[in-house]
Every structure is written in structure tokens, then in C-alpha cells.
Structure 1
């Protein structure tokens, strides 16, 4: 998935009254970077699948032609997982993978299991070499993308919270003749980690949003994954706006979205920080993204309101601490600007009369 960094800025974002907000280009680029966790999704799952390669369970490949039973090496949960099953693990190598009720926290929802051994040719045949990461990425694109879209009845949001993933049986399972892969859905962070999912994907809004109180960290200068707000971060989520009630029909224009979100996010920020003046006093800026047609057509309706600080029109300052309390911005406590309507008076020359009203 690629993100277009030349996305046009909305006209409302260019008006003077919007000066307290991040420029639309910076805000949307930042949120696109956060959303691009889906690009790393396959790599994360493929690497996790290495956890199934438990050497002590390595079996001798069978001479039997055709696919072997899955699960002998990779484990019963992997071997029996099918459409609609949810998988969870806690060990970094996923060696404790298990099936759980989808209402519980999990990391993967299976859309389809595919037996690669059923395909003609020798690539996946007995004794074939374990595919590398790039080949599994191709298989994910070829098989899992369509499988997920079918599983969700054509209602997968390619720019939403969830991404298409693939779990393979691992090298040990492959050596033992296992050729079944699991295609499914996951929630992957920018750094490639698997984030928790609750509930079936088909039963929830797929909008790429975070809960209120979430702080999004920085990785090599760009927004990354959620962190404790006491850690360095790029921005903090202050609101979740559901546009469904305001726009029950066709997708609203960016201008109409901004008109709703400007007020809703300003109110959310004031409620979150405790006063309308707090945002300005902490020298922070308010921003949000917009939904596009692809997301709208599959039912995504929610947008985050977030606060951070733009630097040089090209990114985010580093914030430490929740904006509800004391914060540091690039290592310094923010200095509140003069009250609106006041004007600084120059220092009078020696012997000059005081300025009126001084």
C-alpha cells in the first residue's frame, strides 16, 4: 500500500482561522505513516511464524506424495484453524499460539486456509525449499488479499485499521510436509508488532483510529506505535468523532468533513484538556485526518482528533508527558503566549513619559 504525499490540501485548512491546526499536508502525511503499518503486516506475521519452527519436533519428511496433515509440527491450533477462527499468542516467537473466542483479545482472524500443495508444479512439492519472506509476501498478495475481501463480502477497508496477513507453518513444518497457509486479518503497528484485536472485523468499524488517551510514539522522526504518554511521542489522541449521524448518506466532501470536525475536535480538545485555553497555553496544535471514498464505501465513519506540535512545517516535535498535565516539548516546558488581544509594549527610552495605560 502506498500513500500519496501530494494529496491536495482542503480549502478550509488554508483559512486564517485554522492557524492553530497542523497543516493538512503534515497531518495527513503523519497519519498516512501511522496507517502504513499495513505495509509491514506480512513481514511481521511471516517472522512470527518462525516461532512454529520448534527444532525438537522436527520430523522426517514423508515419502507420501501430496500435502501432509498440518498441525504435526506447527501445533494443533495452527493446523486446525479455519475461516472465522481467531488466534492469539503471547510469546515473541508465537510458539504458544492458540485458538480463542474472537470476543477475546487476539492477534489474527483467519479468513481462509490455503493448501499450497494442491497447486501444480514443483515449487511447493515434497522436499521443496522453504519460501523466503519476499515469496511469502507475493503469496499474501496473490492469495490472501482476494481471500480477505471475499471473507468480508467485499467490505475490506484497505486504508483502515486492519491489514491482510499470512501465517505459514514455519521451516520445521514445511520440512515435515506441511503446505497449508492461513490468510487473515491483523492489526499491525508501524514497527511491525501485532497489536490486539477484539471482536470480529466484519462486525466493527474499520476506521484507523486510536482510543482517547493514546499517545503515538516517534521512530526515526516519524509517528510510530502507541506508547505510554510519559515516553517521547508525536501526538496524543483527544477525541473520536463518529460522522455517521451527521452524514447518513453519501460521503461528504472534505470541506464538509472539516466543517464538522473543526467544531467537534475543538470541543473534544477543550473537554480533554479541561479548558478551551489549555491547547494554546501549551503551544500545541489540533489536527485530524479525512475519510476518503474507499473507506466510506465499506462503512468506515470514525476520525481521531489529536494534538501535537508541528516543527518547520515538516513534522512533529517530541513531547513527553500527557497534555492533561505538565509536558516538555523538545525538552523544554512550553511558554504560554500572550493573551489574545494584548500587545507587547516596547521598553520606553530613558526619561520618556510612560505609555498610556502602562
Structure 2
């Protein structure tokens, strides 16, 4: 869209390309934040971070007992304690947090790094082990059908400092469902039997932290955006991966129709000064079988990031603590283009 034709910020939502670029940057920031607090794949305590950043690193407690000691490929694990000290095996049909894809015995590797009396590895080293050992194991476990941008991520459970000091050298690699900030969300059923698309349910509101999307929250609480629809691209594109342009062409029309249905009338989005945006699928996601994307609504701020919205867009909302001021009505006989969406800020991430 040419600069002269871009809608004014106080009257219309930003253009699709502008919004998409901004939201991609927001997404990248969210992913980096998630990595910084989640580098031990879900067992990093709140406030932890990367060794190299000099952050206060929290490690797991001693994961002891039969569940950790016998967990192997295909087992599903859950816990409630922050340090996973109450880790237990459960049937994978039940709610759980971790599906084991492999157990790695470091004592079988040559060298002194894993030998008796060796130092407990750093967060950075465990991250390297996750990438080196767990990523290939997860791909094998899923027969190559892992969506790196989908809802599931690859994790690693270490035995904790006490377990390490006692001589435990076995790691558990697995699959987990992690939120934007790295908190683990419950899983039901085996990952191989599920759609890996990172698509939230309709009506879910994604929280906000300093302008960046966070974890799902009640819509009555401050949030970055609200999910208004789930679209399955498989029906429209039964063949190979459609281009981004083809996806956008279909989703612009479909998401606009669905958001009008969700809000109840065509002018609601404009009157609430919100922006409609959607996700796109790339080759890796399509190859893994992911076909679903979200249509969502939020409000971008200058320079990137999101305004804080309170309340569901189906009713009265506050934007940064103030009710939205509807723009002037469109003059009779003059047509303005439909607000152009951008992209949902949750990549494989």
C-alpha cells in the first residue's frame, strides 16, 4: 500500500504489511524472552535466564524416585511443584506436561565432563544438550512430522543438582506445550495424534507484559489480543503449501467475515479502533501437517507492541484504561477499504 493511501492511525487500523512487520518483531521479542526464561525446557525457575547474560539461574530440584528413574520413550509425566520434585507418570490420555521421546544416559559418553564428581552443567550446556540430543530424538519419535513453529516444543528434564551429585546422569527428552512466556500448559493425548498448529481456541485472550503478548488470561484482565476465529487452510488449499499472498488473499476475506460475525456487526471493529490480523503457515509447518491459523484482534502501538485491552471485544472494552473513541462516520457515498490484517504474533514459537 502506498504511503499516501495508508489509513491515518487515529481513524483506521494500520496496513497489513506495516502491521505484519511490527507483529513479527513483537513475536521475535516474545520468543527471545521465552528462551531466556525457559532454556532448561520448562524446568527453569521464574526469573531465570541465560548464563551469558549474568542472570540469576534457577535449576530444578532433585527429580528422584521411580517415575524419573524409569521414564522412557512414550511415557507421559506430570508434576505440580515448581522444581518437579513430585514428578509422576500418568496415562497419556490424562492431563500431563511432558511426553518422553528418549532417555539419554550421559555416563555412556566418553570424557570427564560427565564422570563421577563432575560439576553440574550450566543452563547453557543443558540447552546445547537439548538441541544436540533431544531435537533429533523428537523428530524420530514423530516420524519427521514435528512443527518447529507449532504448539509443541522440545524439552529436557535434568536430574537436578542433588541428583547429579548422587551420580544420576540420565536426561529425559520430551515434548511439551509451552506458552509465549515459557510456562508449560497441559496436554491431553499423545502429540503424534494431535494437530500441532499453534492456534488458540476462539474467545481466548492472550495476556500482555510490557506491550508483548504473554500467557492466556481471562478477557476481563489486561490482554494484548483476543482470538475471534480458527481457520483451517486445508479445505481451501488441499494441495501443496499456498503462497503467503494466496494465504493472505483468502484470510483477509475469511477473517473479516468471521470477525464481523464474532462482534455482531460490521462497524464494531472500526468503532472499537481495533485491528484484525492473522497468522500464516510456512513450509515446515505445512510439511508437519499443521493447517490451522487464528484470526485475532488487538491494537498496535507506535513503534511496535500492543496496547493493553480490558474486556472482551464482544462488549465494552478499555484500551490502556480508556474507552475507545469511535472515528468519525464514513461520509455518505465514500468507500473506505476494509481494515487490512497482519499476522498473529505466535511463530513456532
TM above 0.5, yes or no, is yes
**Aligned 1:332-347 pairs, distance under 5 A:** 332-342=322-332
Q: When the two structures are superposed, what TM-score results if normalisation uses the length of structure 2? A: 0.83
The range that moved more, 215-224 or 131-140, is: 215-224
Return the match for 2:297 from 293, 300, 307. 307
| C-alpha contact 1:52 1:93 (8 A) present in aligned 2 | yes
Q: Conserved in 1, the CA contact under 8 Å of 2:98 and 2:175?
A: yes
**Is 1:229 matched with 2:224?**
no
1:25 paired with 2:25, answer no
2:39 counterpart of 1:42: yes
* Secondary structure at 1:245 match in 2: helix
TM alignment of 1:149-164, pairs within 5 A? 149-164=139-154
Tell me what 1:208 maps to. 198
1:277 aligns with 2:267: yes
Larger displacement relative to structure 2 (42-51 or 275-284): 42-51
Coordinate RMSD, CA, aligned: 2.5
What is the aligned counterpart of 1:96 among 82, 86, 90? 86
Contact 2:72 2:101 in 1 (8 A): yes
1:34 and 1:291 mapped to 2: Cα distance?
Answer: 19
Instruction: Please identify, of 178-187 and 333-342, the stretch whose mean Cα deviation from structure 2 is larger.
Output: 333-342
Report what 1:326 is aligned to. Answer: 316
Q: Mark the CA change 1:170 to 1:45 in structure 2 (over 3 Å): closer, same or farther.
A: same
Partner of 2:183: 193
Q: 1:36 to 1:206 in 2, by over 3 A?
A: farther
- Residue matched to 2:257: 267
The CA distance in 2 between the partners of 1:250 and 1:203, in whole Å, is 22
Conserved? CA contact 1:238–1:272, under 8 Å: yes
**Contact 1:42/1:164 (CA < 8 Å) preserved in 2?**
no
Map Cα deviations across residues 94-151 of structure 1 (whole Å, 9 max, x no partner): 2221111222221111110010001111111122221121111111111111111111
Matched, 1:238 2:228: yes
- Residues 311 and 240 of structure 1: CA distance in aligned 2, closer, same or farther (over 3 Å): same
Distance 1:245 1:37 in 2: 35
Q: 1:295 to 1:32 in 2, by over 3 A?
A: farther
Q: Output the TM-score relative to the length of structure 1.
A: 0.81
Unaligned runs of 5+ in 2: 46-57, 334-349
Secondary structure of 1:334 counterpart: coil
In the aligned structure 1, how far is the partner of 2:80 from the partner of 2:105? 27
Shift of 1:313: 5.2
1:83 matched to 2:73? The reply is yes
Separation of aligned partners in 1, 2:67 and 2:164: 16
Compute the displacement of 1:326 (Å).
1.0
